[in-house]
Amino acid sequence: MQQVKTGDTVKVHYHGRLTDGTVFDSSEGREPLEFEVGSGMVIKGFDSGLMGMAIGDKKTVEIAVEEAYGPKDPEMVMEFPIDRFPPDVKPEIGMQLNMTNNQGQHIPVVIVDVKEDAVVLDANHPLAGEDLIFDLELVEIVGPKSMIIMP
């Protein structure tokens, strides 16, 4: 029976939740997630949780912060002058925004505090600092990516 190994392209149904039971993502009602194992397309703990599984296998994996999105980085929390917000935007705690850095990359941020002269923004991944639990079901092993060798 074929088992998942690094380099395989797989299709997986999943149900992700926090340790308190809060569901943060699921493939329910959608096509299974397809990706290459070991390619960095998913978090490390998700990848390693699939290793050795066979088609039809189901299991639950607990993924520590370090194998998930990492700990919260205090340097990713910053103050932004409130007077730099457009006049028609009223900043509120929990509001999600997109900022653009000097290289033109979009960075999602969440307002975590509103002060008189500044807004505190958190650019950490929303799941940073969280241990995660995934229920996994291996639907298909498509196989390794084929290489084309040109003469």
Query: What domains are defined for the chain?
Result: 8-70+127-144 (3.10.50.40), 74-122 (2.40.10.330)
SS3 44: helix
Whole-number Å distance between alpha carbons of 108 and 130: 18
Instruction: Please give the structure tokens belonging to residue 90.
Output: 């009223």
pLDDT value at position 148?
47
Measure the N-to-C terminal CA separation of the chain; round to a whole number of Å: 34
Residue bearing tokens 């370090």? 66
- Determine if the pTM surpasses 0.75: yes
**Full pLDDT tens readout for the chain, 151 residues:** 789 999 999 999 999 999 999 999 999 999 999 999 999 999 999 999 999 999 999 999 999 999 999 999 999 999 999 999 888 989 999 999 998 888 888 889 999 999 999 999 999 999 999 999 999 999 999 866 554 455 5
The count of C-alpha atoms lying within 13 angstroms of the C-alpha of 66, restricted to the half-sphere facing its C-beta, is 0
SS3 74: helix
